Chains A and B, each alone.
Chain A
Amino acid sequence: MTAIQHKIVSDLWEGRGRTLIVVLAVAVGIAGFTAVLSAYSILTRELNNGYLSTNPPSATFYTNRVDDGIIDAVVASGSVASAEARRVVRARIKTGPMEWRPLSLFVIKDFTNIRVHKIQPEQGAWPPQSREMLIERNALQVAHAKIGETATIKIAGQQEQNLRIAGSAHDLGLAQARMENIVYGYVMLDTLGRLGQEPYFDELSVVVKGNRFDEKHIRAVAAQVKALLEARGYPVRRVDLPPPGKHPHADIMGLLLLSMSAFGFAILLLSGIVVINLVTALMAAQVRQIGMMRAIGATRWQVAAIYFGEVSLLGVDAVLIALPGGIAGGRALCRYLAVLLNFDMTSFVLPTWVYLLVLAAGIMVPLAAAALPIIKGTSITVWQAMADYGVGGESFGTSRLEQVLVALGGTFRPLLMVVRNTLRRRRRFVLTVVTLAASGVVFISALNIRASLIRTLDRSFATKQYDLWVTFNGLYPIDELQRATRGIHGIIRTEGWIVTEASFAAQGEESESPSLSGHAPSEGRSDGLFTVIALPPRTNLLRMEILAGRALQADDTNAIIVNSSLAARRPTLMIGDTINLRIGPAVLPWRVVGIAREPFSTPTAYVSQRRSEDLGRRDGMANSLRIALDRPDAATLKAAKIALDRNFEHDQLPAVGSSTKAETRYGFDQHMLMIYVFLLITSALISVVGGLGLMTSTMLNVMERRREIGILRAIGATPLMISLTVIAESVVTGLVSWGAAALVAWPVSKAVGNWLVSAMFQTSLDFHFEPIGLGVWLAVSAAIAIVASVLPAVRASRVTVREALART
Chain B
Amino acid sequence: MISLRRLTKAYETPAGCFRALQSVDLEIGAGDFVAIIGKSGSGKSTLLNMVGGIDRPSSGAVSVGNTAISNLSESALARWRGRTVGFVFQFFQLLPTLTAEENVMLPMDFCGTLPTRARPKRAQVLLDRFGVLAQAHKLPSALSGGEQQRVAIARALANDPPIILADEPTGNLDSYTSDTIFRLFGELAAGGKTVVVVTHERELPVSIDRTVELADGVVMESEE
Residues of A participating in the B interface, judged by any CB pair closer than 8 Å: 394-398, 406, 409, 411-414, 416-417, 420-421, 424, 707-708, 711-721, 800-802, 805, 808
Contact = CB atoms under 8 A, between A and B. Distances in A.
B93 A411 contact: no
B97 A802 contact: no
Contacts of B141: 395-398
Given A716-B82, A716-B111, A718-B78, A805 B93 contact: yes
B95 A417 contact: yes
Nearest to A415: B109
Interface stretch (B26-34, B47-55, B125-133, B212-220): B47-55
Given A396-B96, A398-B141, A801-B49, A714 B54 contact: yes
28 contacts: A394-B96, A395-B96, A397-B97, A397-B141, A406-B139, A414-B106, A414-B110, A416-B97, A416-B98, A417-B97, A417-B106, A420-B97, A421-B97, A424-B97, A708-B93, A711-B93, A712-B95, A712-B106, A714-B52, A714-B93, A715-B81, A715-B87, A715-B107, A716-B79, A718-B110, A721-B78, A802-B55, A808-B90
A493 B89 CA distance: 90
Contacts of A398: 141
Nearest to A715: B107
B150 interface: no
Contacts of B124: none
Interface string B96-118: 11110010011101110000100
A411 B89 CA distance: 26
Contacts of A416: 97-98, 102
Nearest to B108: A413
Nearest to B49: A802
A414 B107 CA distance: 10
Nearest to A398: B141
B111 A801 contact: no
Given A395-B96, A397-B141, A808 B78 contact: no
Contacts of A396: 96-97, 139, 141
B159 interface: yes
Can you list the 3 inter-chain pairs with the closest CB atoms, starting with the nearest?
Answer: A716-B82, A420-B97, A397-B139
B95 A708 contact: yes
Given A395-B141, A716-B107, A717-B110, A413 B87 contact: no
B106 A715 contact: yes
Nearest to A397: B139
Contact of A808 (B75, B91, B97, B137): B91
Quick one: which of B74, B96, B99, B116 has the most chain A CB within 10 A?
A: B96
A284 to B, nearest CB: 16
Contacts of A406: 99, 137, 139
A716 B96 CA distance: 18
A411 B91 CA distance: 27
B83 interface: yes
Contacts of A708: 93, 95-96
B83 A719 contact: no
A210 to B, nearest CB: 77
Nearest to A711: B93
B155 interface: yes
Contacts of B98: 413, 416-417, 420
Given A715-B110, A805-B89, 7 more contacts: A395-B141, A416-B98, A714-B54, A715-B82, A718-B79, A719-B78, A720-B75
Interface in B125-165: 137, 139, 141-142, 155, 158-159
A398 B74 CA distance: 36
B57 to A, nearest CB: 12
Quick one: which of A398, A406, A805 has the most chain B CB within 10 A?
A: A805
A732 to B, nearest CB: 13
Interface in B159-200: 159
B105 A413 contact: yes
A412 B106 CA distance: 8
Interface string B13-51: 000000000000000000000000000000000000100
A707 to B, nearest CB: 7
A718 B54 contact: no
Contacts of A414: 106, 109-110
Contact of B159 (A714, A716, A721): A716
Nearest to B137: A406
